Structure 1
Amino acid sequence: MSPADSTADAPRPAYRRLGDSGLKVSPACLGTMNFGPPGTAGVGCCDEAEATRLVHAFLDAGHNIVDTANGYTDGESERILGRALKGRREEVVLATKAFLPQGPGPNDRGLSRAHLTRALDASLRRLGTDHVDLYQCHQWDAETPIEETMATLDGFVRAGKVRYLGCSNFTAAQIVEAQWAAERVGGTRFVALQPPYSLLDRGIEEEILPTCERHGLGTLVYSPLGSGLLTGRYAPGTDPEPDSRFGRLFRSGLAGARNWAQNFFTERNFRIADGVAAVARELGTTPASVALAWAGRRPGVTSVIIGPRSTAQLTENLRALSLDLPPDALTALDTLSTPDHP
């Protein structure tokens, strides 16, 4: 049996409503930031043939939401995904994002009407489709009135180019401002937020998740493996392997990338990673599986974004999301990872 075929053995997903919408999504969301050659942030490295196998295996396993962005690998992620979905477009909840620079001009980034209109049309061309199912603001734009952004996005919905709207990396206050602005302009509200969430980063629990619940947003959480630190692949005092995410960051030459990576390797983070590895040994599974199972069952989480680079990793990730963690393991993980833990 090939790795791609083995995804058929993973439990079939139970779909969940995305926020207050009627849209049903799977508990796993396939992230495609790795699709294509290494990009400006050192991400990428999943070639088109493997990316296509990943997409098809993911859909064959019964999952349905796939996420990309126009800024991933300089647009190559969208192009590869669009070609991979040929003949299977109607099986997919296709999500993409906009905000990041798409050129050198003053209107080539952000959430203005000028930029979003061009950005959406360019994404549709790269994806080879006439609409996206979920269009997301990649981050807040302090230079554009939120009313302009929400009115523009509503126009996309009315034109049939977009089905649902979401945001990424918004604070609780920004979510509220956007929802109120949508009401003021008579527009379409957000139904999804894409925030970081893992045992290393539980910052959304205090304000953001309650705000999402009150204002009708589901969550597609990203970086559930703590940028890979929770896999047990890294050790204190040693340089990361060259083909790892942090290894690529170290070699990227981007200003501040090496410092950011090194600052992520904190005593607290490694202590949590060690605790996850201990739970995994007790359960006879992998640290990655424990971290994904924890994230997938947290209150307020609709879907967990996974970013496998091979079909073997995809199979492991999908099985992990059906793993039942016993109460004592959950208690240990919760205590170890509580944000104010010394």
Structure 2
Amino acid sequence: MKYRRLGNTGLKVSEIGLGSWLTYGTAAEQKAADACVAKAFECGINFFDTANAYNRGEGEKAIGAALRSYKRSDYVLSTKVFFPMGEGVNDRGLSRKHIMEQCEASLRRLGTDYIDVYFCHRFDPETPVEETLRALDDLTAQGKILYSAVSEWSAAQIAQAAGISRRLNLRPLAANQPIYNMFERYIEQEVLAVSSQEGLGQVVFSPLAQGILTGKYKPGQQPPAGTRGADDSVNGVIRSYLRDDVLDVVARLDSIAGELGLKLSQLALAWILRQPGVSSALIGASRPEQVEENALAVNTVLQPDVLQAIEDILVEVADFAPAR
């Protein structure tokens, strides 16, 4: 495994991290979480990400249980706050009240004394940014979180927050967690540049486009049984990728991977890691073999001719915008 600094901080995170969105959080999935976390440690992965909103806290419980037998200083743990966690009017957003209450709740569910990286899961237009940043700074002063961060904030929102932090002498944000993969590249327009200027590292999610960039889905064919694409309970996000024009592009990318002796997933992750502003790419896994296969991507550096060949293919779906 290889490691990168999280933005301008001194914290080192593995280039591949293990996330838990849509993967862990039920009794049946605990064994999978335990096995995948064990394999992650074996591969040198030290970064584990979850969120309070993943199955209303069950994702945090699963990750917390899977990590319980490991030395706390050996891993970096992140979770998030923003989305509704109850029916009350204050059970959501980035108000001081919600942040403070949910941090305490996350600590209980995770079974830990502190959270390494605490993400604001989305921007909250109904709460002053200063209120949010002061709450995060207070949690850091209390030792309940070590670094504060944001997720899917725009370049303008990141710049605004950085300016407020400087003016008020608050601890700066450490990271942004955006979606980023071969089909969804909006962060290349402004977010990467502003984040670099302000010292935030990118912890990207969905680097394999919900599994599309594993090559398991074929043009003109129904999603294989047992895959996320075939499961109507969780395929709302992936469904917009299941178009023949997108899958034709995936097939051509798979050919490039094969010529390099790589799995398509490894090619897609190496493509993500070509960006110096990316600190870590979060994978999802339900089987240990997936963790091991994806972790090997850190050993691949794509040469300029390969990167250009990939760009020549991706230009055909440059206007692709999946439903959200």
Tell me, in whole angstroms, the C-alpha distance in 2 between the residues paired with 1:242 and 1:101: 32
C-alpha distance in 2, partners of 1:128/1:339? 47
1:274 is aligned to 2:251: yes
CA separation of 1:73/1:121 partners in 2, compared to 1, >3 Å: closer, same or farther? Answer: same
> Which piece of structure 1 moves more, 162-171 or 327-336?
327-336
Give the Å deviation of 1:165: 0.8
Matched, 1:64 2:41: no
What does residue range 40-51 of structure 1 map to in structure 2 within 5 Å?
47-51=29-33
Q: State the TM-score, normalizing by the size of structure 1.
A: 0.87
Q: Quick check: 1:301 aligned with 2:281?
A: no
Q: CA deviation at 1:324?
A: 3.3
Change (3 A) 1:309 1:340: closer
Equivalent in the alignment of 1:320: 297
**Cα drift, residue 195 of structure 1:** 0.8
Cα deviation for residue 215 of structure 1 reads: 0.4
Check conservation: 2:25, 2:61, Cα contact below 8 A.
no
Residue in 2 that maps onto 1:233: 216
CA distance in 2, matches of 1:231, 1:87: 31
Q: How many residue pairs align between the two structures? A: 317
- In the alignment, which residue of structure 1 is the partner of 2:156? 173
User: Alignment partner for residue 73 of structure 2, among 90, 104, 115?
Assistant: 90
Other structure's SS at 1:321 match = helix
| 1:162 aligned partner | 145
Counterparts of 1:302 and 1:125 in 2: how far apart (Å)? 28
Whole-angstrom distance in 1 between the partners of 2:230 and 2:171: 42
The match for 1:263 among 228, 231, 240 is 240
**What is the distance in 2 between the residues matched to 1:224 and 1:184?**
35
3-state SS of paired residue (2:86):
coil
2:107 to 111, 121, 124: 124
How far apart, CA to CA, are the structure 2 residues paired with 1:245 and 1:188? 40
Q: Per-residue deviation at 1:231? A: 1.3
Alpha-carbon distance in structure 2 between the residues aligned to 1:207 and 1:46: 41
- C-alpha displacement at 1:114, in angstroms? 1.0
CA distance in 2, matches of 1:46, 1:105: 30
Amino acid at match of 2:207: P
Specify the code of the residue in structure 2 equivalent to 1:215.
E
State the match for 1:9 in structure 2.
Answer: none
1:37-58 CA distances to partner (integer Å, 9 max, x unpaired)? 3xxxxxxx97112211211221
Q: Once the two structures are superposed, what CA deviation does each residue of 1:216-240 show, in whole Å capped at 9, x if it has no partner?
A: 0011111111111111122334432
Contact preservation (8 Å) 2:210, 2:238: no
Q: Secondary structure at the match of 1:136?
A: strand
Return the alpha-carbon distance in structure 2 between the equivalents of residues 209 and 291 of structure 1. 18
Equivalent residues in 2 for 1:1-342, closer than 5 Å: 13-33=1-21, 34-37=23-26, 47-88=29-70, 89-248=72-231, 250-251=232-233, 258=236, 261-338=238-315, 341=318
Deviation at 1:335, TM superposition (A): 2.4
Alpha-carbon distance in 1 for matches of 2:218, 2:317 = 23
Amino acid at match of 1:275: R
Question: Considering only aligned residues, what root-mean-square deviation do their CA atoms show, in Å?
Answer: 2.0
Report SS of the residue matched to 2:93: coil
Instruction: Supply the distance in 2 between the matched residues of 1:98 and 1:307 (Cα, whole angstroms).
Output: 20
Does the residue aligned with 1:324 lie in a helix, a strand or coil?
coil
- Report deviation, 1:308: 1.4
Following superposition, the deviation at residue 337 of structure 1 comes to: 2.1
CA deviations 1:124-172 (Å, max 9, x no partner) are 0001111101000000001111111001110100111010011101110
Tell me the TM-score normalised to structure 2 length. 0.91
Question: Cα gap change, 1:50/1:36 in structure 2, threshold over 3 Å: closer, same or farther?
Answer: same
Aligned partners of 2:67 and 2:37: how far apart in 1?
8
Distance verdict in 2 for CA 1:26–1:339, change over 3 Å: farther
Q: Which stretch shows the higher mean deviation, 192-201 or 317-326? A: 317-326
**What are the ranges of 5 or more consecutive residues in structure 2 without an aligned counterpart?**
320-324
Superposition deviation, residue 268 in structure 1 = 4.5
Q: Is the 8 A contact 1:59 1:91 kept in 2?
A: no
Distance (Å, rounded) in 1 between the aligned partners of 2:83 and 2:4: 29
The corresponding residue for 1:5 is none
